[in-house]
A and B are shown apart, each in its own frame.
Chain A
Amino acid sequence: MNIQSQFGEEKHVIKQLDLFLSQGVIEEDEYYDIRTAVTEACLNAMEHGNHLQPYLPVRIHFEWLKSRLIIIVKDCGKGFWKIPANRADDRGWGLPFIHHLMDYCTYYIDLTDRCFCLHMEKELKNRLRQEGLSHGYSRGIANQGQNK
């Protein structure tokens, strides 16, 4: 999916993520970890990658690799060479959150699409379990969507 580079757009990604994750069984703590990592990646892409220029898109790609959830967030920026340190104004927690909450995270320049990519992965405990045998979080997410 694509979003514009303005604050608040990341909430559209949460809705799409809920829909995507409702296909499988997921624990509540995993869901919140992924939700925070994805929104922080989108915020970084919008603010630091695209400098909040609304016409510049942030592209988000979700994919399952067996029990592993892969998320790629692409922006139009040049990326960064080292992880920026926390600043004096207490901001800059987005990347530390992503690294802490996901199992794997890397960055690269996609020369084909000419964009900067943040690639994250998380292994889900119950992804391969049959739905109905687990008290997973998938139904909760689906119901949340219906209630809104």
Chain B
Amino acid sequence: MGIQEELLIKAKTNKGVYLLQLTGDITKKSGKQLLEWHNWEAGLPEQSEKLILDLGRVNYINSSGIADLIRLVRIGKDGLYKSGCFGLNYHYEKLFHMVGLTKWLTIYPSEWAAMDTETEVG
């Protein structure tokens, strides 16, 4: 991935889960791209109830990108949708905890766990 390339977003819906596969970097510019990907305030597409971010192909997230993730998750927290992610490395998990993002964003250990809508913990 070159220095100028930012974020590639692929979406799919499966059993009430709206999965966004993110590839690249989450920065000020690409964070805006993520916020403008969909009208999040209208809820998720196809009446999905859960937003899952696949972060396994994200190499770099800066503080502006984290701010945009907070915004994205905060839009859903008042009943519009639940949010989760998987593929996050330990370092970013530490930063997410630090900024309080994990209050509203569940970190799953795998795609399988994230896509499971039958068993919800907490």
Alpha-carbon separation in the docked complex, A36 to B3 (Å): 16
Task: Report B1-45 CB contacts with A as 1/0, cut-off 8 Å.
Answer: 001100000000000000000000101110000000000000000
Q: Contacting A97 at CB < 8 Å: which of B4, B60, B63?
A: B63
Which chain A positions have C-beta within 8 A of B63? 40, 43, 91-94, 97
Say yes or no: A90 contacts B71, CB within 8 Å: yes
A residues with a Cβ closer than 8 A to B are 7-8, 10-12, 14, 29, 32-33, 36, 39-40, 43, 89-94, 96-97, 100
Contact-size category for B: 20 to 34
Say yes or no: B67 contacts A11, CB within 8 Å: no
Which chain A positions have C-beta within 8 A of B4? 8
Which chain A positions have C-beta within 8 A of B99? 93
Residue B112 CB within 8 A of the other chain: no
Alpha-carbon separation in the docked complex, A90 to B96 (Å): 13
Nearest residue, chain A, Cβ from B98: A100
Which chain B positions have C-beta within 8 A of A94? 63
